[in-house]
Chains A and B, each alone.
Chain A
Amino acid sequence: MANKHDVRRDFERIGNWVDTRSRVLDLGCGDGDLLDYLHTVKQAQGVGVEINDERVIACVKRGVNVIQQNLDEGLAMFGDQQFDTVVLSQTLQAVHQTEHVLLEMVRVARMGVVSFPNFGYWPHGWSILRGRMPVTGQMPYAWYNTPNIHLCTLKDFEDLCDKLGLRIVERVTFGPDKEVKWLPSWRATLALYRFTAAAQPSKQASDVGVLA
């Protein structure tokens, strides 16, 4: 669903946000690479959720604890505030129950982290102007076989957070080669957010500029 280059930078930034030895839940954890990385750099105690058999086996092979479950069936298995951080890395756009999953994230963890491909990336608009659905390195699928059913732009996502009462603590945007800060709505291929439930006072609130 994404090119490898972006995944790594995604990881580094998430690694900076995760406290040492904290508990991390990774939704749609794939082959467990992020949790493996967070364990290496932060000794994080990770749990992954994954539906795909092959990826579950890959997790077990690398020693990542994984729960085989469909995200759209909800996070009922997880108790309130059981984790410090819950991550939904490049999976949001493939989730059916988007609102429910975002709300569940702030129920099971203090901090939510979401990354997704930015549909507002300017070549996508160019592609649509030429009459074609965009197919890029970030979203390499054709319209008829894409798992990405809920694509959005930065603004779309921020509006949804607003509607759901989620407070965005920090946003990082990446272009094809590096982090972009100027005109991210057009220039970013990948957006990374961390957020909390609005009602919950956040330790990070004061030291980070609130975006959106």
Chain B
Amino acid sequence: MVTAISTRNIEPTQSNSPRTDTTPTDSNPTDTNATPEASVGIVQTQYVEFDQPLLLASGQQLERYTLAVQTYGTLNADKSNAVLICHALNASHHVAGVLADDPKEVGWWDNMVGPGKPVDTNHFFVIGVNNLGSCFGSTGPASIRPDTGKPWGAAFPVVTVEDWVMAQARLADRFGIDRFAAVMGGSLGGMQALSWSITCPERVRHCVVIASTPRLSAQNIGFNEVARRAIITDPEYHGGDYYAQDVVPKRGLSVARMIGHITYLSDDDMAEKFGRTQRAPSADGDWHYGYDVEFEVESYLRYQGEKFSKYFDANTYLLITRALDYFDPARHAAGDLTKALAGVQANFLLVSFSTDWRFPPARSREIVKALLNNATPVTYAEIDAPHGHDAFLLEDARYHAVVRAYFKRIAQEISHEVSHGQ
């Protein structure tokens, strides 16, 4: 089904055995009790190439593609301790640890994944993968198209959450992993985890869905559309083929990021962070009576937007927001989420955050309700946290305690099976 592993930048590994990153702290994998939390250390990216065409939901086909991958911890002998971490809109395969060439580049979920952390790499083999269409090493609109020698640009096919899952499943095949101990993600990553449980039910033991939703609301799609229009109407977008012009639609992308960023924060959070604080008031404290930055919040959003536009690809932003819009597993079951989830075999952990208005607790409860209808084992924690949607990325003792306890149970389950020779 898949070709032998081939990697770029690092030496090819033989057969199906995956490479694990050298971790200076990965010294005591048998200690089941509390180990001090540590970083997985310096991590390396492997680029896994696939030359079997991937048929996409749109009907289009990707002839060949590369996935950028990082792994942490050690895959056990029966390959039962693998955890797949799926990323959200602007993240990547760099989930934990730091990059050798830039120690400041800490993984996006470093507080969650590592030795002694909630997803403990002393027990689990954790895979971070950059999705197709993204811009951090996996094949995407900015990649060079093999048949033309030019960037894909606007010609890159629209991909869906299900397409990502199919690509990730091939990656699992490459590692020889038949069944994940857990597939986990927050926000859009949670959608991928949910999709895994539906599309590959026998390959997921536990599904961990954090701050997510079974579908976007009209309001969610509305925000995405504003972001896309900002990009597409930027004169430097050039119909998506801006690479050839050696420009990027950075103004549009900045605005897209600004509006996205607002939806990640809660009203209270913004009030506390910025309030109505003036950036640089006049000597007498008066307004400037103009349209340049007046308030701190404006300065912050502009800064975030500009920073983002320097490292993120505009076409990828369009593609990923569209994948968000299209995600709706109940669509194939006449809108009935219970039916859509009828075939899942995984046990579930769902977590939502009280002040998340992007994907509020009510959206997670819909998933919980559907799972309960099917008598699927589910645990649901609703964390009263002030940080809005972003809370899933932040450290919160209760949130992390729930995830930690849940993963401890998974580790016990796996070691129990190993000791009983199953």
Which residues of A pack against B, CB within 8 Å? 23, 45, 47, 53, 56-57, 59-61, 63, 65-69, 77-79, 82
One digit per residue, 1 when the CB lies within 8 angstroms of any chain A CB and 0 when it does not, for chain B 358-383 equals 00000001001100110101111111
Q: How far is the CA of A116 from the CA of B184 in the complex (A)?
A: 40
Please tell me if the beta carbons of A77 and B369 are within 8 angstroms of each other in the complex: yes
Which residues of B pack against A, CB within 8 Å? 349, 365, 368-369, 372-373, 375, 377-384, 398, 401-402, 405-406, 408-409
| Top 6 A-B residue pairs of the complex, sorted by shortest distance between their CB atoms | A60-B405, A61-B405, A68-B382, A53-B398, A57-B401, A67-B380
Please tell me if the beta carbons of B378 and A65 are within 8 angstroms of each other in the complex: yes
Given contacts A66-B380, A68-B381, contact A57 B372 (CB under 8 A): no
- Residues of B contacting A68 in the complex (Cβ-Cβ under 8 angstroms): 380-382
Please tell me if the beta carbons of A69 and B402 are within 8 angstroms of each other in the complex: no
Please tell me if the beta carbons of B402 and A67 are within 8 angstroms of each other in the complex: no
Please tell me if the beta carbons of A67 and B375 are within 8 angstroms of each other in the complex: no
CB contact between A66 and one of B375, B379, B383, B409 (< 8 Å): that residue: B379
- Residues of A contacting B368 in the complex (Cβ-Cβ under 8 angstroms): 67, 77
A-B contact count (CB 8 A): 53
CB contact between A82 and one of B372, B384, B401 (< 8 Å): that residue: B372
Q: How far is the CA of A128 from the CA of B113 in the complex (A)?
A: 57
Please tell me if the beta carbons of A61 and B408 are within 8 angstroms of each other in the complex: yes
- Residues of B contacting A23 in the complex (Cβ-Cβ under 8 angstroms): 375
Main secondary structure, interface of A, reads mixed
Please tell me if the beta carbons of A79 and B372 are within 8 angstroms of each other in the complex: yes
- Residues of A contacting B406 in the complex (Cβ-Cβ under 8 angstroms): 60
Please tell me if the beta carbons of A57 and B398 are within 8 angstroms of each other in the complex: yes
Q: How far is the CA of A47 from the CA of B380 in the complex (A)?
A: 10
CB contact between B379 and one of A59, A77, A78 (< 8 Å): that residue: A59
- Residues of A contacting B408 in the complex (Cβ-Cβ under 8 angstroms): 61
Q: List 17 A-B contacts (CB under 8 A).
A: A23-B375, A45-B375, A47-B372, A56-B381, A57-B402, A59-B379, A60-B349, A60-B405, A60-B406, A60-B409, A67-B372, A77-B369, A79-B369, A79-B372, A82-B372, A82-B373, A82-B375
Please tell me if the beta carbons of A60 and B375 are within 8 angstroms of each other in the complex: no
Shortest Cβ distance from A60 into B: residue? B405
- Residues of B contacting A56 in the complex (Cβ-Cβ under 8 angstroms): 381, 402
- Residues of A contacting B381 in the complex (Cβ-Cβ under 8 angstroms): 56, 60, 68
Q: How far is the CA of A126 from the CA of B383 in the complex (A)?
A: 44
Q: B197 CB to closest chain A CB, in angstroms?
A: 16
- Residues of B contacting A59 in the complex (Cβ-Cβ under 8 angstroms): 379
- Residues of A contacting B378 in the complex (Cβ-Cβ under 8 angstroms): 47, 65, 67
Q: How far is the CA of A109 from the CA of B101 in the complex (A)?
A: 59
- Additional A-B contact list (17), CB under 8 Å, known A79-B369, A79-B372: A45-B375, A47-B372, A47-B378, A53-B383, A53-B398, A57-B398, A57-B402, A59-B379, A65-B377, A65-B378, A66-B380, A68-B380, A68-B382, A77-B368, A77-B369, A79-B373, A82-B375
Please tell me if the beta carbons of B372 and A77 are within 8 angstroms of each other in the complex: yes
Shortest Cβ distance from B408 into A: residue? A61
- Residues of B contacting A61 in the complex (Cβ-Cβ under 8 angstroms): 405, 408-409
Q: How far is the CA of A63 from the CA of B410 in the complex (A)?
A: 9
Q: How far is the CA of A77 from the CA of B374 in the complex (A)?
A: 13
Q: How far is the CA of A190 from the CA of B230 in the complex (A)?
A: 66
Q: B382 CB to closest chain A CB, in angstroms?
A: 5
Please tell me if the beta carbons of B402 and A77 are within 8 angstroms of each other in the complex: no
CB contact between B372 and one of A53, A60, A63, A78 (< 8 Å): that residue: A78
Q: A21 CB to closest chain B CB, in angstroms?
A: 11
Q: A50 CB to closest chain B CB, in angstroms?
A: 10
Please tell me if the beta carbons of B401 and A67 are within 8 angstroms of each other in the complex: no
Q: How far is the CA of A61 from the CA of B404 in the complex (A)?
A: 9
Q: B348 CB to closest chain A CB, in angstroms?
A: 9
Q: A57 CB to closest chain B CB, in angstroms?
A: 5
Please tell me if the beta carbons of A60 and B379 are within 8 angstroms of each other in the complex: yes
Q: How far is the CA of A37 from the CA of B172 in the complex (A)?
A: 38
- Residues of B contacting A45 in the complex (Cβ-Cβ under 8 angstroms): 375, 377
- Residues of A contacting B383 in the complex (Cβ-Cβ under 8 angstroms): 53
